[in-house]
Amino acid sequence: MSVSIKTPEEIRKMRVAGRLTSEVLDYITPYVKAGVTTNELDKLCHDLIVDVQQAIPAPLNYAPGGHTPYPKSICSSINHQVCHGIPGDKALKNGDIVNLDITVIKDGYHGDSSRMFFVGEPSIQARRLCEVTWQAMWRGIRAVRPGACLGDIGHAIQSFVEPLGYGVVREFCGHGIGQRFHEEPQVLHYGRPNTGMKLEAGMTFTIEPMINAGKPDIKQLGDGWTVVTKDHSLSAQYEHTILVTDTGFEVLTVSDGTPPPP
Ligand code: MF3
Ligand code: CO
Ligand code: CO
């Protein structure tokens, strides 16, 4: 399989899916507070997506090769959890940082976006990790234009975060997206300039760096999904779905509540 170039009609549908995805993140924001369980956040998001948006939560029962079907409608990854945390009945507590990752299918097309949320007042170190991760995602996004290479995106992220002492997770990457959740190409969050596939207008993919406060190494928990840092250091992630345009990029996962670009 090769990388698909989306038609204008497909791009219109991707914009809709992207906006709905971002609107779920806007909607859930005021609920992310000490005492709430991630199961409650999952149910709120699920009901909004299904009943109001009349869309499909892509994670629910998602089962890529070798994985047990994902049991919930969103991913919630707390503190040292890197990604794919499964919502459960544990309550969030003051000082937690949590990533909520939302993927919505509307009219056959996917939108995929995540943000970090602060529960009460996290430490200065935790807040700085989130800020740097958000800036890192944006450095990756700003490397997107026709004629640039995938390696330019990875390099923009890696060369920004590693001098700050942070680790870039290697095992998970951004991905092409469209009618399928995960398409080609793989968008690594590390790399060398002028290497890898050339970007062309009409490509759509995510940029979703996972940045650890400590070493980059990760391990998978026994639930088959949750990924945590090996050294138990904090981890943060932001994600947008991006379109390569004739002149640069367009962020597809935008809504009224999207933080303005840096
Ligand atoms: N949303 C994740 C991503 O950004 C994938 C989650 S797969 C799931 O690629 F099954 F855990 F939901
Ligand atoms: Co993604
Ligand atoms: Co995602």
Report pLDDT for 116: 98
Would you say residue 65 lies in a domain?
A: yes
For residue 71, give the amino acid letter. P
Separation CA 240–CA 8 (nearest Å): 20
Q: From 24, 100, 101, 226, give the residue whose CB has the most ligand 1 atoms within 8 Å, as the site to mutate.
A: 101
225 alpha carbon to ligand 1 midpoint, in Å?
9
Q: Which atom of ligand 1 sits closest to the CA of residue 239?
A: 4
The answer to whether residue 186 sits within a structural domain is: yes
pLDDT digits (tens, 9 = 90+) for 2-39: 899 999 999 999 999 999 999 999 999 999 999 999 99
Residues of the chain with pLDDT under 70: 1
In-domain check, residue 260: no
- Is-above-0.95 flag for pTM? yes
Residues having C-beta closer than 5 Å to ion ligand 3: 101, 112, 239
pLDDT of residue 2: 87
Ligand 1 atom 8: residue of nearest CA: 59
Please tell me the total count of domains within the chain: 1
Token pair, residue 39, equals 């199961």
| 235 within 8 A of 212, measured Cβ to Cβ | yes
Q: Is residue 171 a part of any domain in this protein?
A: yes
Cα separation, 215 vs 108, in Å, equals 38
Q: Residue 107 belongs to a domain with what CATH number?
A: 3.90.230.10
Confidence at residue 66, expressed as pLDDT on a 0 to 100 scale: 84
Ligand 1 centroid vs 59 CA: distance in angstroms? 6
Distance (angstroms) between ligand 1 centre and the Cα of 181 equals 8
Amino acid 1: pLDDT: 64
Q: Is residue 223 part of a domain?
A: yes
Domain that residue 160 falls in? 8-251
3-state secondary structure of 98: strand
Q: How far is ligand 2, taken at its centre, from the CA of residue 4, in Å? A: 17
In a domain, 3, yes or no: no
Note whether residue 2 is domain-resident. Answer: no
| Index of the ligand 1 atom closest to the CA of residue 181 | 9
Ramachandran angles phi, psi of 76, nearest 5°: -130, 115
In a domain, 246, yes or no: yes
